[in-house]
């Protein structure tokens, strides 16, 4: 019984510190300390016993705490992980709390790099909201762009395309990404469409970075092909990329989106001044050696990678 009252007290404390009573002293506490506080929150199944039927009220209070961590400008990986734990509790208490699924799922995937946590919370949302196209869409993003696995992304994009209210461009884009998993033009179109669908300023900033990275990969492929054609025609490598335009191989050289410059080395390999390796972060591992982002260094023990197939409504 004492443990139950402690859990109930923790819920109230979390809510009060989030709902307008948060002081300057609270904001000044180290992020690691505030993140550790979240680790003491019991699982939703246990909280249900002690909140005396006020499940939605408790969920609202706890969600305010999660928003602090998800929305923090400078947040640690562990802080994001415990924010995921809190969102998991919130959606246990109130399974019909759609914003908790969509907001946390996109932030954990696009911004925090906790990809399996993102996939898990989005799939949890799909079970409650099988007709919301954004849920499978962002799972497709996690697999396609961050985990470099178009094969796993494809059924989620296809599922999203079949749902009511999905953008008219989605069916053709899903088909392109399924067939052209290694094509930077397909990835670039996907990121630009995703940017258009995103209203959160921080997520848009992160996507702008990724768009520029995809542009670099696209440009390098074009330039590398130009070097190949130059070598085939003149039996030697160009000393600079300017020779590609001087000899009519390319009409013009692309601008590097970060303000840098493209270059070619003595071996004929095209790169960017100041960058040691190509990005290629969205390309299939099996065919291009893509190095996906570390999906979740703080992943909870015993959690398995989510199943491949979407759980939403099928046509």
CB 88 within 8 A of CB 44: yes
| Neighbour tally for 45: CB within 10 Å | 10
- The answer to the question of residue 79 being in a domain is yes
Q: Which stretch of 35-44, 122-131, 136-145, 276-285 has the lowest confidence by average pLDDT? A: 276-285
Q: By residue range, what is the domain housing residue 11?
A: 1-94
**CB-based contacts of 114, cutoff 8 Å, min separation 6:** 77, 80, 81, 84, 108, 295, 296, 298, 299
Residue 205: per-residue pLDDT: 87
- The answer to the question of residue 100 being in a domain is no
- The answer to the question of residue 6 being in a domain is yes
The number of C-alpha atoms within 13 Å of 304 and in the hemisphere containing its C-beta is 3
Burial class of residue 77, CB neighbours in 10 A (0-12, 13-18, 19+): middle
What pLDDT digit, counting tens, does each position of 226-283 carry? 999 999 999 999 999 999 999 999 999 999 999 999 999 999 999 998 765 555 443 4
Determine if residue 235 is left, alpha or beta; phi over 0 gives left, psi from -120 to 50 gives alpha, anything else beta. Answer: left
Higher pLDDT, 225 or 47: 225
Higher pLDDT, 3 or 222: 222
- The answer to the question of residue 237 being in a domain is no
Q: Which stretch of 28-37, 79-88, 100-109 has the lowest confidence by average pLDDT? A: 28-37
What pLDDT digit, counting tens, does each position of 90-110 carry? 888 889 989 899 988 988 888
Residue 43: per-residue pLDDT: 63
- The answer to the question of residue 180 being in a domain is no
Domain count, the chain: 1
Distance CA 128, CA 94 (A): 10
CB 254 within 8 A of CB 223: yes
DSSP state at residue 253 = P
Q: If you average pLDDT over every residue of the chain, what do you get?
A: 74
- Indicate whether 63 pLDDT > 60: yes
- The answer to the question of residue 73 being in a domain is yes
- The answer to the question of residue 17 being in a domain is yes
- The answer to the question of residue 172 being in a domain is no
Rounded mean pLDDT, 13-23: 45
Rounded mean pLDDT, 285-302: 44
């Amino acid at each position: 019984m004492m443990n139950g009252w402690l859990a109930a007290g923790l819920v109230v404390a979390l809510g009060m510190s989030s709902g307008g009573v948060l002081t300057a002293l609270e904001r000044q506490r180290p992020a690691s300390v505030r993140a550790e506080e979240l680790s003491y929150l019991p699982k939703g199944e246990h909280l249900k016993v002690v909140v005396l039927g006020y499940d939605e009220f408790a969920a609202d209070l706890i969600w305010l705490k999660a928003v602090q961590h998800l929305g923090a400008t400078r947040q640690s990986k562990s802080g994001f992980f415990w924010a995921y734990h809190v969102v998991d509790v919130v959606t246990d208490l109130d399974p019909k709390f759609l914003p908790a699924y969509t907001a946390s799922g996109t932030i954990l995937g696009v911004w925090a790099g906790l990809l399996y946590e993102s996939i898990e919370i989005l799939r949890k949302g799909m079970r409650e909201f099988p007709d919301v196209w954004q849920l499978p869409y962002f799972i497709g993003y996690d697999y396609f762009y961050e985990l470099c696995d178009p094969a796993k992304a494809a059924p989620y994009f296809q599922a999203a395309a079949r749902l009511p209210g999905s953008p008219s461009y989605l069916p053709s884009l899903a088909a392109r990404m399924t067939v052209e998993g290694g094509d930077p033009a397909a990835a670039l179109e996907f990121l630009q469409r995703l940017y258009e669908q995103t209203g959160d300023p921080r997520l848009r900033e992160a996507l702008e970075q990724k768009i520029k990275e995809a542009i670099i990969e696209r440009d390098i492929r074009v330039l590398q092909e130009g070097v190949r054609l130059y070598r085939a025609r003149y039996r030697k490598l160009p000393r600079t990329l300017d020779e590609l335009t001087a000899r009519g191989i390319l009409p013009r050289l692309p601008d590097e989106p970060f303000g840098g410059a493209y270059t070619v080395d003595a071996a004929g390999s095209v790169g960017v001044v100041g960058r040691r390796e190509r990005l290629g972060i969205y390309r299939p591992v099996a065919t291009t050696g893509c190095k996906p982002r570390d999906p979740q260094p703080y992943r909870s023990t015993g959690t398995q990678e989510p199943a491949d197939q979407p759980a939403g409504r099928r046509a």
